[in-house]
Structure 1
């Protein structure tokens, strides 16, 4: 029995035909990560990005939760929504075994919240799942 695109579509209610999500995780560097954190999450200083990114191209989930609360208190809706959606993308759609860190590269696809539906999240989820199963079974 195989997992098909229809299965992913019915179970997760994700679009199948749209723009594809590129594999940016393999070519992601620390400089680009700092720029993403400062521009897409509203982090004011570079020192805070260095503190948040000790784990490479990932940030701690607890740090992101604190940032979300801070953005909600400030009333900045876009940054609060982005900090809310980022853990959902990392833990539900593109889940891996890390439950304490979140990859920052997904911010590229949450840049414009009105255009999030333009991406083929279902195809991405299925290919990501197949890739993980392939690497695990070898």
Structure 2
């Protein structure tokens, strides 16, 4: 059976991942994170404000935090947690999902805090076009892996597998 060329479309992303392909675009802070911090607020101060805790210095690398620290710190929500604690754990969980499922790096061991502007207001998360962001990230990663010196592909690989 002959196979022809195919491409992954926004409709594929919406169907396979259940992500919205309509809404506000996810952009800006991804490449120029330092310029898009809330009102010039220092990144790690904002991290502590939104998540309620600051990682130790050995868990931080510029604007990255170790995934193991995130998993250990936010693995289980405390009994009788108040609303703000639940929101903090939800922010951490969403940031980990964004890294591990949609916008992974090749190491898979670090989480960039560039997602802070998107998890700051949880009620706004549904307004973004996460599907188009995931698809553009996939194509960006595929272009990078076309370089013969690159040996790993980082992206939402489930889109390629299906």
Same fold by TM-score, threshold 0.5 exceeded? yes
2:109 maps to what in 1?
100
2:62 maps to what in 1?
56
Residue 16, structure 1, aligned to residue 21, structure 2: yes
Q: Distance in 1 between the 2:121 and 2:144 partners?
A: 32
What residue ranges of structure 2 are gaps of 5+ in the alignment?
Answer: 1-5, 148-162
1:66 to 55, 65, 72: 72
1:42 maps to what in 2?
52
Higher share in helix: 1
1:126 maps to what in 2?
135
2:146 maps to what in 1?
137
Cα contact 1:41–1:79 (8 A) shared by 2: yes
Q: Distance in 2 between the 1:103 and 1:54 partners?
A: 10
Task: Select between 13-22 and 107-116 the one with higher mean Cα deviation.
Answer: 107-116
What residue ranges of structure 1 are gaps of 5+ in the alignment?
Answer: none
Aligned length: 133
1:86 maps to what in 2?
95
TM-score by length of 2: 0.73
What secondary structure is seen at the aligned counterpart in 2 of 1:26? coil
Q: Select the structure of larger CA radius of gyration.
A: 2
Q: Distance in 1 between the 2:107 and 2:11 partners?
A: 27
2:10 maps to what in 1?
5
Displaced runs of 4 or more, over 3 A: 29-32
Query: What do residues 37-77 of structure 1 show as CA deviations (whole Å, max 9, x unaligned)?
Result: 1221112xxxx44626532211011111232147x227211
Q: Distance in 1 between the 2:66 and 2:144 partners?
A: 25
Deviation at 1:134, TM superposition (A): 1.0
TM-score by length of 1: 0.84
Deviation at 1:96, TM superposition (A): 2.4
Cα contact 1:37–1:49 (8 A) shared by 2: no
Q: RMSD of the alignment, in Å?
A: 2.2
